[in-house]
Amino acid sequence: MFKIHRIVKGSAITLLAALGFIMIVWAHGRSAPQPARVETGSVKAVQLRITLDGGHWANVTQVVGTAFTIERDGKKLTLTPYIRDGKVELQIATTEAVTTLQVGGRLMKFENAFGVQVLNASKSLPADLVEASGFTCCARACDGTLVCGAVCVCTDCSRCGPNWCDCAIPGPLDE
């Protein structure tokens, strides 16, 4: 009787082990469901057109609240775009002072140094793409002006930024 019990018990264990192995192989062969993509949100950005002397230009896409720079002839301006009451404000810092300039769709001049026009005040960029780009890019205009930003910079002579950057050549200026 003990011998039959051992045979039945051994057969049951072997059968369970075989079924377990088959289940593992079967489950491994099935494709696992793709994990749901977690939406990381988006960041607000503005697209600005900077006009320089002699018809030179730069288009800058910049995250709201982060600074970009314009450097020419040893002088450096730091510009930080903000959205206030639905309008774009630029905080412009020089070595001498800090000024705030409200800009819109029309070209606004700043102390004969450059002009600024808003191309898109409600640009929305995926936060994960902006975070992944995570670098400062600089592009030089044909007159030698260096423009550095955190997302996209396009000038009449060069461009920098990730491959998803939209750098459309500007049309005629609205003066």
pLDDT tens per residue, range 94-131: 888 888 888 877 878 877 678 899 998 888 887 776 67
Query: So what's the pLDDT on residue 15?
Result: 62
Mean pLDDT for the stretch of residues 36-59: 80
149-170, pLDDT tens digit by residue?
888 899 999 988 876 677 755 4
Q: Is the dihedral of CA 137, 37, 124, 65 positive or negative?
A: negative
* Tokens, residue 14: 């072997």
Please give the model's pTM, rounded to 2 decimal places. 0.68
CA distance 52 to 114: 5
Percent of the chain scoring above 90 in pLDDT:
30
Q: How far apart are CA 155 and CA 11, in angstroms?
A: 78
